[in-house]
């Protein structure tokens, strides 16, 4: 019997909305007086990011944000709007990434991973329009987005020619909120309604090399500071996932820590006024040297 922490079969589909009007908009457009600007990094409808600008001039410390939702198109980047706005209000530029997901053309392997890599690299492509400080850049992801954030943090160590290798922009650290950190265990268990195997295009037995390059637990050490936050009453991705990951990362030599959040469930951390999110923001500030 597997000793991998068991994930629930409940899918991470709450909080998202349909992408709606304007997904294929021009390369940049405002979404209200104090909303985000949109920048596209590809031709598909979901290949865009939204920039939440802080007040004042740059270059800004920056968080690249990767939403979760079981890698499914039933949840989109709007689930992160509250915390994105909160960070921007506190002087941090937020690059909130959208990407192709299961249920839409090109979603899953390799498109989902290639999109996240391309979106992060795109952050540094507009220094005049988007004056970010690439020396103070954190990638932050929630749930399945936490898996993608941890994978993205280790892109520099991927084999040449593989999906996501040779990053154009390298983050300085990773923050993962209740992440799916063991894709192999998740797929073997059929957890999250089978989406761990679905996003990979097959089982670990069929595609061992693919899982070895994408599952965060298999990729340690990645050589970056990693800060994990996980609610103790999370019934979607149990906290034992993060405990096991941080133990393995630290044993491999990484600077990796876990903050366990009492009374927090899987989504509490996305509530801007919660103590759980306040702890994350403080951790981000520390990583950014603020």
Q: pLDDT over 90 for what percent of the chain?
A: 84
- Residue 191 is predicted with a pLDDT of 87
Q: Are 164 and 151 in contact (CB under 8 A)?
A: yes
Looking at the domain covering 37-287, what would its CATH class be? alpha beta
- Residue 34 is predicted with a pLDDT of 65
- Residue 214 is predicted with a pLDDT of 98
- Residue 7 is predicted with a pLDDT of 52
Residues 6+ apart with CB under 8 A from 179: 141, 142, 143, 144, 145, 146, 147, 149, 150, 216, 228, 237, 241, 242, 245
Give me 100's structure tokens.
């192709």
Q: Residue 27: is its pLDDT beyond 60?
A: no
Q: Residue 25: is its pLDDT beyond 90?
A: no
Average pLDDT, integer, range 44-63: 96
Q: Mean pLDDT in the chain?
A: 90
Residue 33 or residue 137, greater confidence: 137
pTM of the model: 0.90
Q: DSSP characters for 225-247?
A: -EEEEEETT-SSS-HHHHHHHHH
- 262 falls in which pLDDT band (50, 70, 90)? very high
- Residue 35 is predicted with a pLDDT of 81
Q: Where are the domains of the chain?
A: 37-287
Alpha helices in the chain (DSSP H): 81-89, 111-122, 144-153, 183-189, 195-200, 208-214, 216-219, 239-251, 275-287
Average pLDDT, integer, range 148-161: 97
At 234-254, the pLDDT tens digits run 999 999 999 999 999 999 999
Average pLDDT, integer, range 99-120: 98
Average pLDDT, integer, range 82-103: 98
């Amino acid at each position: 019997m597997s000793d991998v922490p068991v994930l629930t079969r409940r899918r991470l589909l709450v909080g998202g909305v349909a992408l709606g009007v304007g997904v294929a908009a021009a390369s940049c457009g405002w979404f209200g007086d104090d909303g985000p600007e949109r920048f596209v990094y590809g031709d598909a409808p979901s290949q865009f990011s939204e920039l939440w600008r802080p007040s004042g001039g740059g270059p800004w410390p920056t968080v690249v944000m990767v939403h979760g939702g079981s890698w499914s198109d039933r949840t989109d980047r709007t689930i992160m709007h509250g915390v994105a706005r909160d960070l921007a209000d506190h002087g941090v530029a937020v690059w909130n990434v959208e990407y192709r997901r299961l249920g839409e053309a090109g979603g899953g392997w390799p498109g989902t991973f290639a999109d996240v890599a391309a979106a992060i690299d795109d952050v540094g492509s507009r220094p005049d329009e988007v004056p970010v400080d690439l020396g103070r850049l954190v990638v932050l992801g929630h749930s399945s987005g936490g898996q993608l954030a941890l994978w993205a943090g280790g892109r520099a160590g991927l084999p040449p020619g593989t999906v996501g290798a040779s990053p154009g922009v390298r983050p300085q650290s990773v923050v993962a909120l209740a992440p799916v950190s063991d894709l192999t265990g998740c797929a073997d268990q059929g957890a999250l309604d089978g989406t761990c195997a679905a996003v990979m295009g097959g089982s670990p037995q069929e595609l061992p090399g693919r899982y070895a390059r994408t599952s965060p637990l298999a990729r340690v050490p990645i050589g970056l500071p990693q800060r994990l936050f996980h609610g103790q009453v999370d019934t979607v991705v149990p906290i034992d996932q993060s405990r096991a990951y941080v133990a393995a990362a630290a044993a491999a030599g990484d600077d990796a820590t876990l903050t366990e959040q009492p009374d927090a469930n899987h989504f509490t951390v996305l509530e801007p006024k919660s103590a759980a999110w306040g702890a994350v923001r403080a951790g981000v500030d520390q990583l950014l040297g603020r």
